[in-house]
């Protein structure tokens, strides 16, 4: 189930970042809010942390956001590294439940923020019936299946 959750993150996260206009990365809704590139960098930090937790050497790092395209690439690299760890025969140093409750669930919250920011920035993503989405365990890269049932 945890690997499926990571595939969901790749699918939904990919949808939230794919096709965003160049100006989206630095879109700001208020003085104290994160920009989309800062949110994406934080998601990437969450998956670096998730991997360190799974491997038993917890390490948190607040990274300085890079360029938007670099953070997008980092997103899929971080997901793959974590998924590869989950797919391996190595035992997890932290339970799957705790990995889900911490970094994975937090990342889903932030993917929702990116989707909301897309709408506020004037570049909304289409809603979708995600229960029909072609989400596959292990498919955690930028190449995702096309939407099956989009709304609007």
How far apart CA 110 and CA 96 sit, in angstroms, is 20
Q: Alpha helix locations (H) across the chain?
A: 2-17, 36-55, 68-87, 96-99, 105-120
Are 12 and 109 in contact by the 8 Å Cβ rule? The answer is: no
Are 19 and 132 in contact by the 8 Å Cβ rule? The answer is: no
Q: How many domains does the chain have?
A: 1
Paired strand residues for 151 = 127
Could you tell me if residue 141 is inside a domain? yes
**For 100-148, what is each residue's pLDDT tens digit?**
999 999 999 999 999 999 999 999 999 999 999 999 999 999 999 998 8
The domain of 111 spans: 2-20+36-151
**For 43-93, what is each residue's pLDDT tens digit?**
999 999 999 999 999 999 999 999 999 999 999 999 999 999 999 999 999
Secondary structure class of 150 (helix, strand, coil): strand
Tell me what the pLDDT averaged over the chain comes to.
96
**For 13-28, what is each residue's pLDDT tens digit?**
999 999 999 899 999 9
Could you tell me if residue 27 is inside a domain? no
């Amino acid at each position: 189930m945890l690997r499926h959750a990571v595939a969901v993150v790749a699918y939904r996260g990919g949808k939230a970042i794919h096709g965003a206009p160049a100006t989206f990365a630095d879109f700001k809704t208020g003085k104290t809010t994160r920009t989309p590139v800062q949110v994406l960098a934080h998601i990437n930090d969450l998956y670096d942390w998730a991997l360190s937790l799974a491997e038993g050497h917890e390490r948190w790092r607040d990274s300085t956001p890079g360029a938007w395209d670099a953070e997008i690439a980092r997103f899929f690299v971080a997901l793959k590294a974590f998924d590869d760890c989950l797919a391996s025969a190595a035992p997890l140093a932290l339970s799957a439940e705790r990995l889900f409750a911490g970094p994975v669930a937090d990342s889903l919250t932030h993917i929702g923020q990116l989707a909301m920011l897309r709408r506020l920035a004037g570049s909304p993503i289409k809603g979708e019936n995600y229960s029909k989405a072609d989400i596959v365990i292990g498919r955690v890269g930028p190449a995702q299946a096309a939407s099956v049932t989009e709304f609007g």
